[in-house]
Each structure stands twice: as C-alpha cells, then as structure tokens.
Amino acid sequence: MPMTNETRGTSAAPAADEWVTLLCDNTRTGGQGAPPMEAPSRARWQLRLGSSVRSAPVMRDTTLYVNSLAGTLHAINVETGRLKWKFEAPGQIHSTPSLYKNKVLFGCDDGNVYAVNAELGGKSWDVPTKGEVWASPVVRQGVACFGSADGHVYAADADSGKLVWKQQLGGRVYSTAYAAEKNIYVGSGDGQVHSLDQTTGKILWSTPTGNGIDSSPALVRDTLVIGSLDFFVYGLDATTGAVRWKYETGLGISSSPAVSGDVAYIGSKDGFLYALAIKTGELKWKTRAGEVVTSPLVFSEGVVYVQSFGTMALEAATGKVMWRAGLGGSVQGAPVIRERVIYVAGNSGEVYALE
C-alpha cells in the first residue's frame, strides 16, 4: 500500500525513508501495507532464536529484523528462513527496531541506542543514556528520537549518532514517540502526554492523564490518539494538548492505536479491542480478543491484526473475528504481513512464516 498523507497521519508527508512512529506509521505495518490474507494453514518455515522475543519484527525487501531478549538483533532471509547475520548487544532488548536508510535502529537495556548496518550487521553508531531503552527510535528530518528509563527524551543525528538535544520529563519514557513535521509527541511514566519542539526539545505542552503511559500515539490530522494506564483512550488537540474526548475501557492500556480513515483501533488489558471514531471518541465496536492485550495493533486493507497469546485477524468495519492462529504468543509483538505470508515472533523465541 503506498504511503499517503492519511496513513502517515500528518498534512506534511514525511520522506519515504522516514520512520515517524512505532512500526513506521499510523497503520503499524512497518511500512509494508499488504492485502488481507486468509487464515494461515501451514508454516512455510520456522526459526528458533533460543530467546524470548518481546518486541515486534520489522521487514525490508527480503530481510526480517527481529530483536530477542538475549540481546541479539537477527537478520533473517524471509525466502529461506535462515539467518543472514546477527548483532550481539550487551544487554537485553525490549525495543522494536526501526529502519532508516541502510540502518536498523533499536534501544537496549544497557542504556544505549544502536544503529546497525542493515546489510552487513556491523555497528554504525551508538548513543548512551542512563536507563534502559525500551522505546523504538523514530526518525524525521534526519533526526532520531527516543525515550529512556532515565526519564529523558533524546534526539540524535540519525546518520552519525551525534546528540542534538535531550529533554527531561517527569517519569520513565517507554512510549515510542510520534515525530511530526515540527513536534515530537510522547507519553511518560508520570502519566503526562507531552509535545516537544522537534528542533530544540523544548516542552510545548503537557497534558496529564490518571496513570503512566507506555502506549505510543497516532497523529491523525490535528488529533493525537493515545492510551493510558488510567483505563482511558484519549483524543487530544495536537496543537494545544486539550482533551477533546476520552473513552473508558475496563483496565489499563499499553497497546498502541492503529488508524485507518476516521477510526482508531486499540487494545486494552481488559482483553478487548476497541474501534473508536477519531473525531468524537464514539465506540464503533468492541471485540474480546483474549485475556489481555498489550501489543500494538496493525491495520491493513480493511483488516485489523493483533497478537495476544496467539494471532488474530478481525474485520475492521465490524470487529468480527476472521481467524485465529495459536502461534505468536506475545506481549509486545505485532505481525508483519506481506504477499499473503504473515511473520510472527513471540515469547517462545520462535519466528514463523505462516501462509
């Protein structure tokens, strides 16, 4: 699916190689887009990594990039299911990778953000912080932005790794930011949603919620959609931070919304998926997905995908469950879908190509 301003979420579209939020853009497809696929019936291949996967894979061309808890970034040839190379980091990895030019970017529990050559697996640069980095780096206008458990948001030159600015917030930052043309939007462990100036890091506005935020926002025109552990999904005025609406779910929200048109799809720890009108917060449908949903949702061509102790697909228009697969048990994962193959990884440390 081509990148449009709508899927990118802003009036000023980012360049093709920019990665503006968790899993690239508001659809959370990792920039893939994809036709809807039928229920998978077999595994084309399966690869055992030997360590749990607590993040989502991403793909470019024929390579799938998967981080594992053992501290390894794996580059996997999707045609053969074989490992092309791996990069060993010194700490556990909970961060979903992002892609920028010829680099794979990710955070590590050793406090560094690493950029690794996407073809060869060698380190390009690293940026140190003073806490573990679970957020995924985002890139806009050549600047990589990411939060750390040390309570700061960092901005670094995405080509060199040179620090541009850092800004202290009031809690740990596990929320992956949304990088708009002039603003960075991000949540914090103290429950605040912040807008920062993209070039200086200055805080432009802060809006409190009732509990911590590890959800990553989606920006749709001038509305910022984000979940909070206070049980609510928020729709905020992106210019002022004013609360336009909020919708209450049954438990806290760690999931990140996926967006299509005027609807945002998001999961809650109460086990339900919710479809909400972006303009008003009105509920379109809710569907039970399992016991707990903490993973980001993925939207593609009228279908919403989610991982929660398995993988499932729902009709975006109605919330009707199209199929479920038992593979892909995960708390932070998301599937990659391309050419009628779905790639999933999860807590068991297995990566599957299902068709």
Binding mask 223-242 for other proteins (x = CB under 8 A): ------xxx-----------
Residue selected from 73, 132, 314, 325 as contacting other proteins according to rule CB under 8 A: 132
Q: How many residues bind other proteins (CB under 8 A)?
A: 39
3-state secondary structure the chain: CCCCHHHHCCCCCCCCCCECECCECCCCCCCCCCCCCCCCCCEEEEEECCCCCCCCCEEECCEEEEEECCCEEEEEECCCCEEEEEEECCCCCCCCCEEECCEEEEECCCCEEEEEECCCCCEEEEEECCCCCCCCCEEECCEEEEECCCCEEEEEECCCCCEEEEEECCCCCCCCCEECCCEEEEECCCCEEEEEECCCCCEEEEEECCCCCCCCCEEECCEEEEECCCCEEEEEECCCCCEEEEEECCCCCCCCCEEECCEEEEECCCCEEEEEECCCCCEEEEEECCCCCCCCCEEECCEEEEECCCEEEEECCCCCEEEEECCCCCCCCCCEEECCEEEEECCCCEEEEEC
In the complex, the smallest distance separating the C-beta of residue 184 from other proteins, rounded to whole angstroms, is 18
211 binds other proteins, rule: CB under 8 A: yes
Q: Cβ closer to other proteins: 92 or 260?
A: 92
Q: Cβ closer to other proteins: 125 or 185?
A: 185
In the complex, the smallest distance separating the C-beta of residue 63 from other proteins, rounded to whole angstroms, is 25
Binding mask 239-278 for other proteins (x = CB under 8 A): -----------xxx-x--------------x-x-------
Restricted to residues 177-196, the positions that interact with other proteins (CB under 8 A) are 189
Binding mask 135-174 for other proteins (x = CB under 8 A): --------------xxx-------------------xx-x
296 binds other proteins, rule: CB under 8 A: no
Binding mask 22-61 for other proteins (x = CB under 8 A): -----------------------------xx-x-------
User: Is residue 198 a contact partner of residue 179, using CB atoms and an 8 Å limit?
Assistant: yes
User: Is residue 286 a contact partner of residue 275, using CB atoms and an 8 Å limit?
Assistant: yes
Residue selected from 114, 134, 146, 165 as contacting other proteins according to rule CB under 8 A: 134
291 binds other proteins, rule: CB under 8 A: yes
Q: How far apart are CA 228 and CA 234, in angstroms?
A: 8
Q: How far apart are CA 163 and CA 298, in angstroms?
A: 32
Residue selected from 69, 127, 337, 354 as contacting other proteins according to rule CB under 8 A: 69
Q: List the structure tokens of 25.
A: 């853009």
347 binds other proteins, rule: CB under 8 A: yes
Determine how many CB atoms are found less than 10 A away from the CB of residue 317.
14
Interface region with other proteins, contact rule CB under 8 A, candidates 28-36, 155-163, 316-324, 347-355: 347-355
Q: Cβ closer to other proteins: 10 or 311?
A: 311
212 binds other proteins, rule: CB under 8 A: yes
In the complex, the smallest distance separating the C-beta of residue 60 from other proteins, rounded to whole angstroms, is 27
Q: Cβ closer to other proteins: 172 or 244?
A: 172
Residues forming the site for other proteins (CB under 8 A): 51-52, 54, 69-70, 92, 94, 131-132, 134, 149-151, 171-172, 174, 189, 210-214, 229-231, 250-252, 254, 269, 271, 291-292, 294, 331-332, 347-349
